[in-house]
Structure 1
């Protein structure tokens, strides 16, 4: 009733799965060929990955693009064009801070000429001149500190009123650092005159 399996059927190997055969075989070696040596495989990869055909032209183009970007940035620093300003100077908050500082007088912006005058006074061979230079030096430092504190407080108050929902982090220090530069040397260049209201 039940037929026994023949010897040939018992001796026949079980069929192997094609997926199993694919896993056991080196994926880089073609079927029926031995696995290539490491040196041969590396040489083949090097031949596939080639260097750019025209490196000099690519470098020249990159230099021209950098030169163009720097030229646009210099022009923006002179005209206040928001599109090409450096990241630290972009945005309405920073623009308002610049205009607020540029529209007022600050003692710190005259620090360099005052310091030069005090230095010249201190080297005069006279005891009274040296004493006067020391007093002037201490007085200038105190006035700069007081003026800076009040300037930053007023600037932050004006920023909170103008931009209640904006991130004002770093705007006060940004304005303070601008007060320490002479007006003609500030970058971006001042866009308002003294006494004018900041731009909207």
Structure 2
């Protein structure tokens, strides 16, 4: 009688591809079970509403996570793309006077209520004037940067100024998607 000396045939070592899917391929049995589960039609309106609620919950959870990490796949449409990513990074990498706006406005309110209304109004109007000047400077610098970084995209500037201004008017820790760069950090040359 013939007997095999090796107990198991050697299996080739698995190698992880760069950019691979990150999980093993499901067996036919698992794939068919998953397809049946997806194709299962809810029997009642209540089950259908529960399924839709669960799907919305999953989508919103992925979107919230993307807002924290900056993952482009799950961001809302208004925040997707290389131009919008550049705008976010450009605004987040610069220090602007706008970030001091809220404390100065609170100080002007307190001064107005304590009887020093003239000083409070002076702080308020000077804060507003400096913010307007900062927004104008942001617009001109941003246009120049967009023209040099995205010369082949004519729609790159469409809505870019408003997007950048609205982001810069928010305090840095309240901005969504969260800032991915620090103040003063050099930005990469390409955003493709």
Q: C-alpha distance in 1, partners of 2:53/2:92?
A: 35
In the other structure, the counterpart of 1:150 is 137
| Deviation of 1:113 (Å) | 1.5
Indicate yes or no: 2:164 matched with 1:175: yes
Indicate yes or no: 2:89 matched with 1:106: no
Aligned counterpart in structure 2 of residue 186 of structure 1, from 157, 175, 178: 175
Contact residue 104 and residue 123 of structure 2 kept, 8 A: no
Aligned counterpart in structure 1 of residue 63 of structure 2, from 56, 61, 73: 73
**Unaligned 5+ residue runs, structure 1?**
1-51
Runs of 4+ in structure 1 over 3 Å off: none
Q: C-alpha distance in 2, partners of 1:171/1:134?
A: 32
Q: C-alpha distance in 1, partners of 2:109/2:55?
A: 46
**Unaligned 5+ residue runs, structure 2?**
1-41
- 1:1-33: per-residue Cα shift (whole Å, max 9, x none)? xxxxxxxxxxxxxxxxxxxxxxxxxxxxxxxxx
> Which shows bigger deviation, 190-199 or 63-72?
190-199
| Deviation of 1:193 (Å) | 0.4
Contact residue 68 and residue 177 of structure 2 kept, 8 A: yes
Q: C-alpha distance in 2, partners of 1:198/1:61?
A: 43
Contact residue 100 and residue 198 of structure 1 kept, 8 A: yes
Alignment of 1:14-53 (within 5 A): 53=43
Indicate yes or no: 2:147 matched with 1:160: yes
Q: CA RMSD in A?
A: 1.2
Q: C-alpha distance in 2, partners of 1:85/1:145?
A: 30
Q: Please give the TM-score of this superposition, normalised by the length of structure 1.
A: 0.70
In the other structure, the counterpart of 1:86 is 76
1:198 partner SS: coil
2:114 partner SS: coil
Q: C-alpha distance in 2, partners of 1:189/1:106?
A: 17
1:196 partner SS: coil
Contact residue 100 and residue 197 of structure 1 kept, 8 A: no
Q: How many residues align?
A: 146
Structure label with greater radius of gyration: 1
